[in-house]
A and B are shown apart, each in its own frame.
Chain A
């Protein structure tokens, strides 16, 4: 792999003694507002507000949220496919904002993206060979002949498309959805990236092959020590695949922590609702019932905590002031006033999955 790390003198590279767990890409106070159409319209969609996190070598960070919560916007911001409204992106501690085409090229050589739809992200008129060759030539210089051939075979084998000869001349329409997604991953790997941004990489695939793709990404994390941002709406797959999980609601991070604790002992009322809403055949009783309400408009988001209109515990404090991320345990944070030490904080009923299912829907009450 080291032979491939050429032409990288312009950007800060990983320190020679980089170890798994070291920070790679950092989002600092990320903010994105979209202007609404209309003459004289000053309204903006608050898609992402004050988002901070760090992607680390050989670690997977999951970003979970419902559709419209801003998770794909974050991926596109990190890939620098659109400009930031505020905040910064830092690669190995240095500001990575791209200023021109050349610096963008260098940046995408480090940070690659995998899209949701493998049917749309591969050009249907080119065979796999062309798709991968193009990516190799852009990112690794002019490979030719045997060198190119062995690089292609290596890529296909790394995404477990074996034997490589069987796939290399195929057009995308000749491949199944899972195989196409593997080709898309191989194309990203051609750049030998340090960061993979995977935007719902399995949600368009058949249920029986989703795990294959997740296990492949896991293998890349372990063998190549790639830092992965895994964006999903399926919190169960985040638990399976990710080391840490961040939950997003209406453009803000509401909870973060290691995946196991976030899913087994959710702290934020929204995470609790999310976890209880997931179908669970083993426990047909402990489900959220009577959950009501929908995600708010992001043009005029609710003041204070954006979850307050749906939160059973919300108080005046929640309706007026934005809760900061408060430490709620070992490397865990939740943006909920209930965990603060303010005297006017809301009283949360005891969290976790042991509470009776109706408790989440009742208005404020004592500790159960």
Chain B
């Protein structure tokens, strides 16, 4: 089966997407679990989530609302508001000199020093997270001075002006109030603030959702350009998978509190391995190409409080079989020949060994989730 073409295409895809090897990670999230609620019956919103962010990599985190993408970002930065509770796992941050620290074990002082400096976050609806009664220059300078006590006000303001220029806003806007700026400009100010201390990891939670497409395009280009220039890593959270395919090197798709697929961006788009990823990609009407009838995904996401065993997607999955309701799939390497060895998927179709262990014969893999690089090329040639 493994013809040379397949191998070439696979390695080519890996090359194009600049997959960063796991040997140089900047952030490693291991088995992170989060519960909501302090009583005897908490909701497990994140269950044993593991994710690695390479240095200089843009990692996209996609999924529907309520699937835990924002919770993952907030838990990893310890910003989770009550009643959120981290019940297990570790978040290892690797500094530029190679020292590893577990963010979850830092005391308050060390955590405060680490925030903004090591990892900065741009919040969802960042446009409204600026304080309306202070000029934006003051808001940026305050943050710089809090972390660098030796810096004078004047220097902090000068640095703020540099930051504004970095994101393409005229420095004289330092004296503007947030309401005097448009939505896109406010979003840029938030990005400038996040970059103030030259962080190594930038987490962006739906940074472009409230903006129209033209502005979204500008912001995304800006982030890509700054990333190349300053060399930080990005976790980009959004529900818009088509946007991620453009900006991200790698995409992790979440469903019901778990990562169900983790692969290079183009692989996810051209060769999805999980039925949910495949269905999600077909939930967007295309702007170009042939017009066709689309169905979306039947049903709605499961209630996390009532989640039993088995695959959480089985009720909405067109390819579910008996074992799906009893065995909870784990992230494994897909069985399709020629696949990138670093991609992972949580679907029993790709884990026949577990199904056989149950005493069942695994069904044939549907074509929707087993397209090889070879098939994709052939399809492209036909079109």
> Which residue numbers of A lie inside 8 Å of B, CB to CB?
66-67, 176-179, 206-212, 214-215, 233-237, 239-241, 260, 263-264, 273-275, 277-284, 287-292, 294-295, 353
Contacts and interface: CB of A to CB of B under 8 A. Distances in A.
Contacts of B215: 66, 294
Contact of A291 (B214, B286, B287, B289): B214
B212 A233 contact: yes
Given A178-B300, A207-B283, A294-B184, 13 more contacts: A66-B213, A206-B64, A206-B301, A207-B239, A212-B295, A236-B286, A274-B214, A277-B216, A279-B243, A281-B245, A287-B246, A291-B218, A294-B182
Contacts of A236: 284-287
Interface in B288-303: 288-289, 291, 294-298, 300-301
A234 B285 CA distance: 10
State the majority secondary structure of interface residues on B. Answer: loop
B285 A239 contact: yes
Interface in B244-277: 245-246, 269
Given A279-B243, A284-B246, A289-B221, A209 B296 contact: yes
Nearest to A178: B300
Given A207-B284, A292-B218, A277 B239 contact: no
B162 interface: no
B27 interface: no
A241 B291 CA distance: 10
A277 B213 CA distance: 6
A277 B214 contact: yes
Interface string B171-188: 000000000001111000
Contacts of A264: 288
B167 to A, nearest CB: 13
A285 to B, nearest CB: 11
B295 A239 contact: no
Nearest to B211: A67
Contacts of B245: 279, 281
Nearest to B297: A208
B184 A240 contact: no
B306 to A, nearest CB: 13
The 7 nearest A-B residue pairs measured at CB: A211-B296, A240-B285, A66-B212, A208-B297, A281-B245, A236-B287, A277-B217
Contacts of A279: 240, 242-243, 245-246
Contacts of B301: 176, 206, 208
Contacts of A211: 283, 285, 294-296
21 contacts: A66-B212, A206-B66, A207-B64, A208-B279, A208-B297, A209-B296, A212-B296, A214-B285, A215-B294, A233-B213, A234-B213, A236-B287, A237-B285, A274-B214, A277-B213, A279-B245, A280-B242, A283-B288, A287-B246, A288-B214, A295-B182
Interface residues of B, number: 40
Interface of B: 64-66, 182-185, 212-218, 221, 239-243, 245-246, 269, 279-280, 283-289, 291, 294-298, 300-301
Given A67-B212, A280-B288, A208 B218 contact: no
Nearest to B298: A212
B166 to A, nearest CB: 16
B319 to A, nearest CB: 16
B214 A208 contact: no
A11 B298 CA distance: 41
Most A-side CB within 10 Å, residue of B212, B213, B245, B284: B213
Contacts of B185: 294
Contacts of A281: 242, 245-246, 269
Nearest to B316: A208
Nearest to B184: A294
Contacts of B246: 279, 281, 284, 287
B296 A288 contact: no
B83 to A, nearest CB: 18
A233 B241 CA distance: 17
B296 A210 contact: yes
Contacts of B242: 279-281
Nearest to A290: B221
Contacts of B286: 236, 282
Nearest to A69: B212
A210 B295 CA distance: 9
A278 B215 CA distance: 10
A322 B221 CA distance: 32
A176 B289 CA distance: 32
